[in-house]
Amino acid sequence: MGIEIERKFLVVDTTPWRDSAPATKLWQGYLSTVPERTVRVRIKGDRAMITVKGKTEGATRAEFEYDIPVADANEMMGLCEQPTIEKTRYKVEHGGYTWDVDIFHGVNEGLLLAEVELESEDEDVPLPAWVGEEVTGDRAYYNANLIARPYSTWDDKD
């Protein structure tokens, strides 16, 4: 079984890495956002994949991801819950880890999140100065939940 263990943080500063980190545009939609199982379609550059994720327990959940034809992914986007998620993902190296830093667009414009994948939940990760509050357990920041409650509608943004 595939397992994903990750921690998620708000990003407070993009200047140390934004101009030098590799970036890719992502477009993703959700066929299911039920907390016990989410099903995501993602187009990432010239690749597409479908991902099934189980319920999150702490920072861990089951994850299964498979490549699919881009043409199929484009058609599946029409079946997805709306709105879809648009973001630019930067790969940022820090302290021996590769961080995925997402700058959201569209209805989630203004949201900046950083995720780091781990081998175990108790792994001690050196945090970069450009991350702020940890939001690992905060369901509001799950991509699947940003469909029902986009960041642009939040009254309580920092």
- Model pLDDT for residues 41-59, shown as the tens digit of each residue: 999 999 999 999 998 888 8
Q: Which of 30, 90, 97, 151 is catalytic?
A: 30
pLDDT in tens, 88-141: 999 999 999 999 999 999 999 999 999 999 999 889 999 999 999 999 989 899
For the stretch 72-80, contacts whose Cβ atoms lie closer than 8 Å and that sit 24 or more positions apart, written own/partner, are 72/48, 73/41, 73/42, 73/43, 73/48, 73/49, 74/43, 74/48, 76/29, 76/31, 76/41, 76/50, 77/27, 77/29, 77/41, 77/43, 79/29, 79/31, 80/29, 80/30, 80/31, 80/41
pLDDT at 71 over 60: yes
Domain boundaries, the chain: 3-153
CA–CA separation, 34 vs 101, rounded Å?
25
Residue 9 has pLDDT above 80, yes or no: yes
Residue 30 annotated to the active site = yes
- Domain 3-153 grouped into CATH 2.40.320.10: yes
Query: What pLDDT is stored for residue 95 in this prediction?
Result: 94
Rounded Cα–Cα distance for residues 31 and 139 (Å): 18
Quote the pTM value: 0.91
